[in-house]
Amino acid sequence: MLLVFPGQGSQEVGMGKGLYDAFSTARNVFHEVDDAISFFLSRVIFDGPEDTLRATENAQPALMAISMAFTRVLEKEYGINIASKAKFLAGHSLGEYTALCVGGVLTLPDTAKILRIRGAAMSSACPTGRGAMAAILGLSLANIERIIAEYDAEKKGKATAEANITVKTMPVVPIESVLQIANDNCDGQVVISGNSEAVTWAIRKAIEAKARRAVLLDVSGPFHCQLMNRAVSDVAAALEQANFSPPVCPIISNVTARAEIDGFRQFLLKQIVQRVRWRESILFAEANSITHCVEIGAGRVLTGLVRRICPQMELTNVCDVNALDEFAKKIT
């Protein structure tokens, strides 16, 4: 069994409220997260406003708290140590922190603190309006890589031309142009990230290449690209303050798309500026005899992605109290 945990974008006001009301164990998780970050995040999760919950520094620890509440209830209320029943754990972007927490690598308070810092650092790493992300649907990864290669070649040619202009006519100004693949989610669904002009250029090229859809995303920054470099030092400092223990089971890294048992600090730092290799991660799990994938937490985004990557895989989504009860009965 593969357990997966959602990333940013799955949040919604009111998520987890049924779980909070039904189980004291769940309430303890939310209160522990509130105490760890010295902020009543649980109030924002349950009551909003939506803009406050969507803020990256809130959304990241909030989504982790939801998944952790489900897993703690399974453990304390149903007597099921879910991590010990899994062959692998994995999470999408911030969900990898949840996987580390479920797998016993990080404590809940440390995970909440790191994600709060990570979210704030990622939001402020790139000046407002300078960066963007876009979802490209209906083109292969190879096609999008060719678009990025074309952009890089055009950028290099422009830089060379400007360097040949004499100082008398105009000074040479360095071009800060970044265009990268941020998320390789599944066949036909890729997210790109970079400075706004580059992403807009790539959207135009994707449409010319017959993409089914190419749209800007409503996000607070250009995540998972080199424009996030300024966030790395803040997250590194937070990671250094945390104790990392051996995992209960291997965790598939976003960076390597392979099962790992150590080196998590470096993987988490690389993850900030590199693509999330989700499609490859699920294919790795399938190649290693995984036939059942369980998404635990808010929403059903990862369940949908896994269905597209591995249509034959059995899928379970645990996002409310009824689904939790059914799942617990099934695996007991």
E strand spans, the chain? 2-5, 88-91, 131-137, 179-186, 189-195, 213-216, 251-252, 259-260, 292-296, 314-318
Q: For the chain, how are helix, strand and coil distributed in percent, rounded to 5?
A: 50, 15, 35
Q: Whole-angstrom distance between the N-terminal and C-terminal Cα of the chain? A: 14
Residue 85: which of 323, 292, 244 has the closest Cα? 292
Q: Of these residues, 42, 93, 253, 281, which one is catalytic?
A: 93
Please identify every stretch of the chain with a pLDDT value under 70, giving residue numbers as ranges: 156-176
pTM: 0.94
For residue range 242-255, list pLDDT tens digits in order.
Answer: 999 999 999 999 99
Q: Which domains are assigned to the chain?
A: 2-125+226-331 (3.40.366.10), 131-216 (3.30.70.250)
Which pLDDT value is given to residue 168?
45
Identified catalytic residue from 42, 224, 253, 281: 224
Measure the CA–CA gap between 109 and 150, rounded to whole angstroms.
45
124 classed as catalytic: no
Whether the CB-CB separation of 227 and 126 falls below 8 Å is answered with yes
What does the DSSP 8-state code read for residue 219? -
What is the per-residue pLDDT for 176? 62
User: What is the predicted pLDDT for the residue at 91?
Assistant: 98
Q: CB–CB of 27/7 below 8 Å?
A: no
CA-to-CA distance for 46 and 165, rounded, in angstroms? 58
Scanning the structure block, which residue is given the tokens 């922190």? 97
Run of H or E residues at 43: helix 41-47
pLDDT of residue 158: 65
